[in-house]
Amino acid sequence: MIDGGPTVTDETTEEPREAAQVRAEVRGWLTEAWDPDLTVRAWWRVLGESGWGFPTWPRDWHGRGLAPEVAGVVRDELRRAGALGPPAGLGQGLAAPTLIAHATEEQKRWWLPPLATGTEAWCQLFSEPGSGSDLASLQTRAVRDGDEWIVNGQKVWTSGARQAVRGMLLARTDVDAPKHRGITYFIIDVDQPGVEIRPLKQMNGAASFNEVFFTDARVPHANMVGEASNGWAVALTTLAYERAGIGGGMMGAATPGEKAGFLDRRAGEVAAGVGGEAEMGSMMAAFTGGSRLLRSAAEAMGATADPVVRQGIARIHALNEATRLTGDRAVAAIRSGGRPGPEGSTGKLAAAVNLHATRDVGMSILGAHGMLVGDDAPLGGEVQNVALSAHAISIAGGTNEVQRNIIGERVLGLPKEPQVDREVPFRELRVGTQRRDG
């Protein structure tokens, strides 16, 4: 990290001197290092080993130790150079910061390098058919068997499971403890007997989510993150980064890893968006710049002079920027050593509201053309895809109702809802289809 002392403004760039120094350094490095003819695999290795791919990570673990507000200039310079950004998946956005906070040094050596260089894709094995909003009621069991744990149960709404080689797994290891205190956090290999993945078809035509079934699957004891039956504390870190990432528009534009199928493509082609997935591309456009997508829609429909349309686009731009900054604030608070705060919930809820607003404005711009899909639709159906996908963000990462409860309790100081089961042993709870014997 560049040591700064007091914040000093650079006269030529009109930004803090530390940020200006980082900008100059990464710009010079990109001039030498970026080569669009490299494969994605080769470029991500160069980027990951340089520390510029994930500059907020510690220097000892493939980062630069930069604060989020300073690291933003790295993203700016990557875009300016037309360079492919770092791998962006659940492994990088959720697992890596969780491992940095909770894993042993040996575990970091195992898992952080392939995440930094994009050779592995990970998934999040948290939600279950009867345990979504009340995640702590999960029923997937892990039983100790020597140096391994045997896992049985079911997960659902698992993004990217078919591309993943590892998963962040929450499993119940103590049915005699209350529901929050009997959960353990594991990193499990997905490619093994006993793990079955079934895709779930969505109304937007995609199958991003999956059901995952565990039948005597195995995970080494060494893959336990944190202490046994104390996984809820580890999971809170993952959930905080998930909400902050959604709120700040930092969703994975690409699923890294060998199974993704583009590690051996030219980095320049991928950076230019050639052959990108339509669903994720339009969703990223809506999250990171919904106003740009709407402006393109207005241009396609000849509506750029309409004052109502212009006001709608301006409102979306303001909302997106406010939400992005809230997400940055949440990540900064967590990284500075504080407990996961309500900023992530605020940003995540705002992202859902904003995406719904983007849907409404976009469809009003298209009018009757909004009923078209595919090549017949304006912009190839990007706005329609956002409209069909917008409902998912109200559920993913914790429902809007859960986020409002968190904000009400932790920000506004409202009384908590009664929790009559919090201190009851899990074995005695009636959860979903759970049997009396636990």
Residues 122-141 have a mean pLDDT of: 92
Q: Residue 37 pLDDT > 90, yes or no?
A: yes
Spatial separation of the C-alpha atoms in residues 214 and 329, rounded to whole Å: 37
Query: What's the pLDDT at 416?
Result: 84
**pLDDT higher than 50, residue 102:** yes
Which H or E run contains 40? helix 40-50
Reported as a pLDDT band with limits 50, 70 and 90, residue 8 is very low
> Whole-angstrom Cα distance, residue 88 to residue 66?
18
Backbone region of residue 13 per phi and psi (left: phi > 0; alpha: psi in -120 to 50; beta: other values): alpha
The answer to whether the CB of 272 falls within 8 A of the CB of 253 is no
Q: How far apart are CA 158 and CA 417, in angstroms?
A: 28
Closest CA to 212 of 118, 138, 134, 103: 138
Cα–Cα distance for residue pair 349/258, rounded to 1 Å: 33
pTM > 0.95: yes or no:
no
* Closest to 268 (Cα-Cα) out of 83, 31, 77, 88: 83
Tell me what the mean pLDDT of segment 321-337 comes to: 66
The better pLDDT of the pair 95, 12 is held by 95
pLDDT in tens, 154-182: 999 898 899 999 999 999 999 999 999 99
For residue 250, what pLDDT is reported?
52
The answer on pLDDT for 68 being more than 80 is no
Contact of 397 with 348, CB cutoff 8 Å: yes
Residue ranges of domains in the chain, CATH in brackets: 17-86 (no CATH), 119-237 (2.40.110.10), 258-410 (1.20.140.10)
Which amino acid, one-letter code, is at 134? D
DSSP state of 415: P
What pLDDT was estimated at residue 312?
93
3-state secondary structure of 149: strand
b/e sequence 126-150, b meaning 16+ C-beta within 10 Å: bbbeebbeebbbbbbbbeeeeebbb
- Of 18, 77, 120, 242, the active-site residue reads 242
Residue 242: active-site member: yes
User: Within 272-379, where are the H helices?
Assistant: 278-300, 307-335, 343-366
pLDDT at 328: 67
Whole-number pLDDT of residue 341:
62
Mean pLDDT across 70-78: 88
Closest CA to 226 of 91, 90, 62, 98: 98
Query: For residues 340 and 237, is the Cβ–Cβ distance under 8 A?
Result: yes
Residue 281: pLDDT band (50, 70, 90) is very low
Whether pLDDT at 10 is above 60: no
Contact 100, 58 (CB under 8 A): yes
pLDDT at position 286:
56
Q: Which residues are within 8 A (CB) of 273 and not within 5 positions of it... i.e. 6 or more apart?
A: 281
Q: Would you call 144 helix, strand, or coil by DSSP? A: strand
